[in-house]
């Protein structure tokens, strides 16, 4: 039976070109700055983002953590959405390892934070208060169904931050999905942020790794913090080689993933017992609800899995399916047929 794995775009396997690049990669000791392949990837990433410098890290979680450790000291506060990945799914790393205090604001359904809410949350200087240092945004927004933040919105948050001397970090795990969906250069989405982390190992299909981009000084300090968390990786060119192929070959094709997600969402909308807001499907993530109370989302997930379709129950009545390299239009039709059968049997 063919397994259609829609749990995440993290399940993507390296392409033949990536395996070839891995085989051919020239490597050296990256902690000495001597891995030519890592250096090439970092230069390429900085250039793509329009930033001065970049740093290769093991994961998105490490990239966000290292960025937060670089922006904030112990007892400092960062403003973050209540549905942000950095807040929900990174094991409290900034608090556990950096003594950094999260100040959560309600995410709007489109992934934004209300500008008035941000303004109201910025603290005055007072010995009782933590010091607000940073605003953290997420584009695309995972828990908001892959919602895209526009260049204009991001710019307005950055302007507000600059007025109060705060930095802005973008969790851009899927920022290339946002760029493809909006038809803009990714530079336009990160122009005014102080740091951005993007993942090579999700929609771009590389096996391992993420990159942080920012100015020279920020990246110098981030390199120290990467060392502190044990992220100095020696002959990392072996994996960085696939990252270079990802940036060269795998960005534009994400439009196919978006088209497949849209088709999936439209198909789900026609199946009785499921609820979905089609306006919210903008990129490669489809979040929908099991409206029928005849089975729990966990049971639904298990039944689909027996039929060869994997997706994730997300708490509450919500479920998530993610399209990616390796999932074709036919797979979407096959997945919809399995979902339809499971719902009919209820």
* Residues at the contact surface with ligand TLP, assessed by CB under 6 A: 8, 10, 59-61, 64, 85, 89, 138, 142, 171, 173, 199, 201, 210
User: Least distance to ligand TLP from the beta carbon of 345, Å?
Assistant: 28
Tokens coding 229: 């968390």
Strands lying side by side in the sheet with 285-290 = 274-275, 285-290, 318-322, 312-313
Cβ proximity to ligand TLP, 165 vs 316, nearer residue:
316
C-beta atoms surrounding 151 within 10 Å: 19
d(CA 338, CA 336): 5
CB 171 → ligand TLP: shortest distance, Å?
A: 5
C-alpha separations of 310 from 197, 298, 321, 323 in Å: 28, 12, 8, 11
Nearest-approach distance from CB 59 to ligand TLP, in angstroms: 4
Geometric angle at alpha carbon 116, from 158 and 190, rounded to 5° = 20
Which residue number has the CB closest to ligand TLP? 60
Q: How far is the CB of 33 from ligand TLP (least distance, A)?
A: 24
Q: Among residues 286 and 343, whose Cβ is nearest to ligand TLP?
A: 286
**Cα–Cα distance measured from residue 59 to residue 204, given in angstroms and rounded to the nearest whole number:** 13
In this structure, how many other beta carbons lie within 10 angstroms of the beta carbon of residue 288? 25
Q: Which is nearer to ligand TLP, 76 or 171 (CB)?
A: 171
**Which two tokens mark 87?**
């807040």
CB of 68 to ligand TLP, least distance (A): 12
Instruction: Enumerate the H helices of 72-192 as residue ranges.
Output: 85-88, 93-98, 115-121, 151-163, 175-182, 186-190
Nearer Cβ to ligand TLP, position 85 or 258?
85
Instruction: Pick the closer one to ligand TLP by CB: 209 or 343.
Output: 209
Place of tokens 């934070």: 113
Q: How far is the CB of 263 from ligand TLP (least distance, A)?
A: 21
Q: How far is the CB of 63 from ligand TLP (least distance, A)?
A: 8
Smallest separation (angstroms) from ligand TLP to the CB of 163: 27
Which is nearer to ligand TLP, 170 or 343 (by Cβ)?
Answer: 170
* Termini Cα distance of the chain: 23
Helices (H), ranges, the chain: 16-24, 36-49, 60-71, 85-88, 93-98, 115-121, 151-163, 175-182, 186-190, 216-228, 237-249, 254-269, 297-306, 329-344
Q: Which is nearer to ligand TLP, 62 or 268 (CB)?
A: 62
296-303: long-range contacts, CB 8 A cutoff, minimum separation 24: 300/342, 303/342
CB of 288 to ligand TLP, least distance (A): 16
Nearest one of 100, 184, 102 to 139, comparing CA atoms: 184
Nearer to ligand TLP, 89 or 220 (CB): 89
Nearer to ligand TLP, 70 or 271 (CB): 70
């Amino acid at each position: 039976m063919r397994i259609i794995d829609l749990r995440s775009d993290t399940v993507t396997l390296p392409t033949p070109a990536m395996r070839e690049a891995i085989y051919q990669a020239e490597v050296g000791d990256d902690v000495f700055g001597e891995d030519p392949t890592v250096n090439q990837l970092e230069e390429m990433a900085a250039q793509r983002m329009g930033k001065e410098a970049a740093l290769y890290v093991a994961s998105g979680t490490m990239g966000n953590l290292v960025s937060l450790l670089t922006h904030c000291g112990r007892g400092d506060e960062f403003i973050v959405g209540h549905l942000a990945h950095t807040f929900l799914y990174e094991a409290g790393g900034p608090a556990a390892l950096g003594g950094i205090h999260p100040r959560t604001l309600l995410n709007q359904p489109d992934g934004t934070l209300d500008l008035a809410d941000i303004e109201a949350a910025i603290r005055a200087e007072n010995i009782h208060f933590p010091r607000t240092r940073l605003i953290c945004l997420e584009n695309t927004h995972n828990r908001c169904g892959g919602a895209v933040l526009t260049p204009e919105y991001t710019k307005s948050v950055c302007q507000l931050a600059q007025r109060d001397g705060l930095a802005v970090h973008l969790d851009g795990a899927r920022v290339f999905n946002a760029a493809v969906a909006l038809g803009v250069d990714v530079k336009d989405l990160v122009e005014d942020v102080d740091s951005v982390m993007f993942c090579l190992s999700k929609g771009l299909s590389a096996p391992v790794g993420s990159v942080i981009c920012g100015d020279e000084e920020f990246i110098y300090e981030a390199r120290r913090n990467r060392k502190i968390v044990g992220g100095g990786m020696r002959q990392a060119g072996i994996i960085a080689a696939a990252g270079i192929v990802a940036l060269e070959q795998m960005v534009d094709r994400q439009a196919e993933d978006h088209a497949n997600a849209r088709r999936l969402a439209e198909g789900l909308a026609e199946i009785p017992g499921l609820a979905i807001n089609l306006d919210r499907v903008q990129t490669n993530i489809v979040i929908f609800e099991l409206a029928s109370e005849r089975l729990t989302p966990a049971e639904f997930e298990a039944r689909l899995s027996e039929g060869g379709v994997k997706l994730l129950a997300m708490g509450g009545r919500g479920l998530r399916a993610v399209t990616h390299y390796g999932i074709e239009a036919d797979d979407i039709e096959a997945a919809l047929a399995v979902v339809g059968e499971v719902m009919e049997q209820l």
